[in-house]
Amino acid sequence: GFREIRRAYRGSEAVTLCREFQPDAVILDVMLPDMDGLEVCRRIREFSYCSILFLSSRNDDIDKILGLSSGGDDYITKPFSPREVAFRVKAQLRRQRYQNAPSPAVSSVLTAGPLSLDQESGRVWKNGREISLTGREFLLLSYLMENTDKIISKERLYEQVWGESSCICDNTIMVHIRHLREK
């Protein structure tokens, strides 16, 4: 089971709860009364790297892509199995624990060209100026910087950054890389 569950009925309320309680995971619907779930996700990503799962009746590919590219970690469409949702949340939390495990005697700061990335603090600088990244962008950039001068397949990249063994959408990776380049 889960230790503590909070519920919000409006997007603004969800952002406030996340800021106040710093949850390990958030389940969002895309359609909320005062702002859409995509905007809620973007706002949460401004201050948190928690796992964000979308649960929505909107099941077009573009909706899934928008959900993942806004900072979501998973996108589940209705109808769904409550048991599957619980296991997906547990899988996200397991990956989060693994990613947050300390590395023995390794510097937490990576550098590549004009970029510096501190894996412990989650901060990134370009030419000495701090830049803001979503949680997924940070994980992607961190993995790429750890593997400079190596050829990485999109399948391997998706597995390492998204924690999935199969790449469900080539565009997901490309959208995240495009956002990184723009920053």
Does residue 84 sit in the same domain as residue 129? no
Query: Could you identify the residue written with the tokens 């948190």?
Result: 48
Among 75, 101, 127, identify where a domain stops. Answer: 101
Highest mean pLDDT among 119-123, 140-144, 146-150: 140-144
User: Each residue of 86-120: pLDDT tens digit?
Assistant: 999 998 888 877 666 554 445 678 888 899 998 88
The total number of structural domains that make up the chain: 2
Does residue 140 sit in the same domain as residue 169? yes
Does residue 139 sit in the same domain as residue 162? yes
Does residue 45 sit in the same domain as residue 91? yes
Among 101, 116, 144, identify where a domain stops. Answer: 101
Does residue 40 sit in the same domain as residue 130? no
In the prediction, which pLDDT does 122 show? 85
User: Each residue of 121-138: pLDDT tens digit?
Assistant: 888 999 889 999 888 889
Mean pLDDT score across all residues of the chain: 86
176: CATH? 1.10.10.10
Domain containing 132 equals 102-182
In the prediction, which pLDDT does 100 show? 60
The mean per-residue pLDDT over the stretch 9-36 comes to 93
Does residue 146 sit in the same domain as residue 170? yes
Among 71, 101, 131, identify where a domain stops. Answer: 101
